[in-house]
Structure 1
């Protein structure tokens, strides 16, 4: 009987790996702030004091914040779509495989969230990925339309509602620093015991993933997965050259719209309403523009060859993502160097870029000797079964 097997290297889409690799840089820059500061509980526009930090944060807020998780979610959906198409071609069961693969990711994410860092996104990807399986029988266009509507309509509704609230009750949407939660966070991570860190980690995770926030997480991640899966079924990354002019127009439009929406707190008012619009409405627009721009750049042969290190990071995206959390928490938590709360935004950003550059080098060296990253290997072995994955000469 034909069994589902991992994607061979000759079958990989280079632009997909490049986009994943690029996403990891943006994700790390944002995550680094939470590694070294109580970012979850502070007002960033009043917290940073040095001239360098005050100048830097708006750039991160517009170009990076909330723009890379949606991008990675699209690529997650794209990869799931590829697996489905390969299963259909081989006449194997995609859904049982998909459920097993996502449940394994859920376990990895749970270990990450509760033992390493509370800002984990893998649990959300796994749970929403399981929901995505219910829609994978739709056509590519059907997934694109459904994903687009599921993203746009609710976000426009909530955005308009919040803007109206700014007129009805301006103080109700004011951003503020939660002093008590901030102090608890600093006390636990900077000098607390491992058990106190565990307790704080769960509280931080629940603050983001509580039932009240779940609907907003769902409406920000699942639609992007649907769009990615629909694009995969239509093979849009493989056909960029065929629709180059169309993609240029869409890329420019989404870039302009994304930048405009994400700049609103800077030019109108920095409050909760415009911060929500900035992240949940503007972020995905900018994500789409990033994906299109990178795909168009990959049409240039020199850029394609030069992007190989970025693609290597993308091929090992799960390993690199987890390692970023391990390194970040070891630097800043009390069981490591204990530098939590003692690093400026600028220093943390430069540190993230430096560590990412090292990851690029390590990924290149690793993939010159092995086919997969270590965590990717484990995920594949558990997903496909050892007999279909392990070959002589592999890790």
Structure 2
């Protein structure tokens, strides 16, 4: 849901989350953008990355149970993710994460035999080094003379809008034209993705999510510290990008928000795990669990539906909807996905894309199970 809220803004128009200042934005528009910046931007892709690293250990355990080598399976899985990511980026949404996962997943394969401690130390070094670089880069922008960056970014705006409102071929051309900037951003953020992979690998090797009840006090500390460190940084980013601080602070604010995002992500993870230990939280988890079992299908179908809504594939509403309408539409879409996921997972073990990726990983057709097997 968090990824959907961010991606909906990115796909809805060129002024996404302060990328370019929207001269026609109302106070309500900026407030909604500020809320999404504070609580969603930069947090949920890290959560996905942590889960990707954790699930890597489950892939290794599965191969060991089957008495087969894990490496060929994992290489095929990375290839499958890469192909899906390229198709996703070219046809639907340039902000694809699957290509990044496919490439960085090769590093996980190489590091599969490392100890949990080594994985955690590597994550800390990677996070610390990249954070220092980004903060210095952000501070440097404050020392530079003011430049009309928005004017430079807005030069091709009308052409971009026309491309996304045109026919299918112009949408694909617009996506391809956006790819170099998106790939550069992905390269810059890949260090944080890799650090989250390694933290997930550390936790998976120690089976920390297998018995969260024994880590209640530790998770509570992480929740409180993560919120105390992450929320102020995210709020500063929102004030700098969509708030009153102004364009001069935008880059530095973005860097601060990026560096503090892992703390808030950790707070989210531990907060949800603590919530699920309560009776109300357990009931809530039942509602969300089916969508989690087919997260890849939901991720790609979100992009497909939004492409139909926003681009020339369908309604061509690119740059025509307010942030409030975009957020409302995203929440309605997610509610529909929850309902559909519940129906599908009651009958099948895998979602459609999960089934396809598993077939590629195993190099054979997976056997779908009946409802009781899926529940087990």
The normalised TM-score by structure 1 is: 0.86
The counterpart of 1:130, out of the listed 69, 82, 106, is 106
**CA distance in structure 2 between the partners assigned to 1:266 and 1:154 by the alignment:** 21
The structural deviation recorded for 1:275 is 3.3
The counterpart of 1:258, out of the listed 212, 218, 230, is 230
Specify the alignment match of 2:367 in structure 1: 390
The structural deviation recorded for 1:238 is 1.8
The counterpart of 1:350, out of the listed 328, 335, 346, is 328
**CA distance in structure 2 between the partners assigned to 1:293 and 1:177 by the alignment:** 42
Q: CA, structure 1 residues 148+39, in 2 after alignment: closer, same or farther (shift >3 Å)?
A: farther
Specify the alignment match of 1:209 in structure 2: 183
Map of 1:66-85 to 2, 5 A cutoff?
66-85=42-61
Specify the alignment match of 1:296 in structure 2: 274
Specify the alignment match of 1:188 in structure 2: 163
**CA distance in structure 1 between the partners assigned to 2:234 and 2:295 by the alignment:** 26
Map of 1:83-232 to 2, 5 A cutoff?
83-166=59-142, 168-171=143-146, 178-190=153-165, 192-210=166-184, 213=185, 215-232=187-204
The structural deviation recorded for 1:157 is 2.9
Q: CA, structure 1 residues 214+320, in 2 after alignment: closer, same or farther (shift >3 Å)?
A: closer
The SS at the match of 1:117 is coil
The SS at the match of 1:340 is coil
- Is the 1:43–1:176 contact (alpha carbons within 8 Å) kept by the matching residues of 2? no
The SS at the match of 1:144 is helix
**CA distance in structure 1 between the partners assigned to 2:79 and 2:44 by the alignment:** 23
**CA distance in structure 1 between the partners assigned to 2:238 and 2:356 by the alignment:** 44
RMSD: 2.3
**CA distance in structure 2 between the partners assigned to 1:164 and 1:392 by the alignment:** 57
**CA distance in structure 2 between the partners assigned to 1:321 and 1:154 by the alignment:** 28
Specify the alignment match of 2:290 in structure 1: 312
**CA distance in structure 2 between the partners assigned to 1:152 and 1:170 by the alignment:** 28
The SS at the match of 1:148 is helix
Map of 1:2-13 to 2, 5 A cutoff?
none
Corresponding position: 1:240 with 2:240: no
The SS at the match of 2:313 is coil
The SS at the match of 1:171 is coil
Instruction: Render the CA deviation track for 1:148-180: whole Å, top value 9, x for unaligned.
Output: 2211222123203421441x3152696667212
Specify the alignment match of 2:358 in structure 1: 380
Instruction: Render the CA deviation track for 1:313-371: whole Å, top value 9, x for unaligned.
Output: 11010100011001001011123011111100010000000110000000001111111
The structural deviation recorded for 1:186 is 0.5
**CA distance in structure 2 between the partners assigned to 1:181 and 1:317 by the alignment:** 35
The answer to which of 26-35 and 46-55 deviates more is 46-55
The structural deviation recorded for 1:278 is 3.5
The normalised TM-score by structure 2 is: 0.90
- Is the 2:237–2:257 contact (alpha carbons within 8 Å) kept by the matching residues of 1? no
Q: CA, structure 1 residues 107+134, in 2 after alignment: closer, same or farther (shift >3 Å)?
A: same
The answer to which of 79-88 and 331-340 deviates more is 79-88
- Is the 1:173–1:272 contact (alpha carbons within 8 Å) kept by the matching residues of 2? no
- Is the 2:233–2:256 contact (alpha carbons within 8 Å) kept by the matching residues of 1? yes
**CA distance in structure 2 between the partners assigned to 1:172 and 1:219 by the alignment:** 29
**CA distance in structure 2 between the partners assigned to 1:243 and 1:393 by the alignment:** 34
- Is the 1:48–1:54 contact (alpha carbons within 8 Å) kept by the matching residues of 2? no
The answer to which of 119-128 and 34-43 deviates more is 34-43
How many pairs were matched up?
Answer: 366
Instruction: Render the CA deviation track for 1:29-55: whole Å, top value 9, x for unaligned.
Output: 111112211146964665562232122
**CA distance in structure 2 between the partners assigned to 1:103 and 1:333 by the alignment:** 28
Q: CA, structure 1 residues 266+330, in 2 after alignment: closer, same or farther (shift >3 Å)?
A: closer
Instruction: Render the CA deviation track for 1:255-301: whole Å, top value 9, x for unaligned.
Output: 11111111224557453432332342122221111111111111124
The SS at the match of 1:263 is helix
The SS at the match of 1:370 is coil
The counterpart of 2:256, out of the listed 275, 278, 300, is 278
